[in-house]
Amino acid sequence: MITETYGGHTIRGFAKPLVDGSFESSGAVEKDGQVLENSDPLGYYPTFDRALAEGLAWAREWVDVHI
């Protein structure tokens, strides 16, 4: 998991390792300690870092659309 502050929100990217060596990506958005949104799985990526980046990108986009 990686956490950043973006637009006054806490955003998180997740990378879940899979048995084939790839990583499932997801994201989350929080404000004042309350979860506003969790993504469904965003896709499967060959590296941990790429999966984290995709989760954060999703969370940034969610914030941009909803504020």
CA atoms within 13 A on the CB side of 29: 19
> Global pTM?
0.95
User: How many structural domains does the chain have?
Assistant: 1
43-60 per-residue burial string, b: 16 or more CB within 10 A, e: under 16: eebeeeebbbbbbbebbb
Q: Which two tokens stand for residue 35?
A: 């979860």
CATH number of the domain where residue 28 is located? 3.30.160
pLDDT tens, position by position, 6-36: 999 999 999 999 999 999 999 999 999 999 9
Q: How far is CA 56 from the centre of its chain?
A: 4
Q: Which domain holds residue 40?
A: 2-66
Burial of 1 (0-12, 13-18, 19+ CB in 10 A): exposed
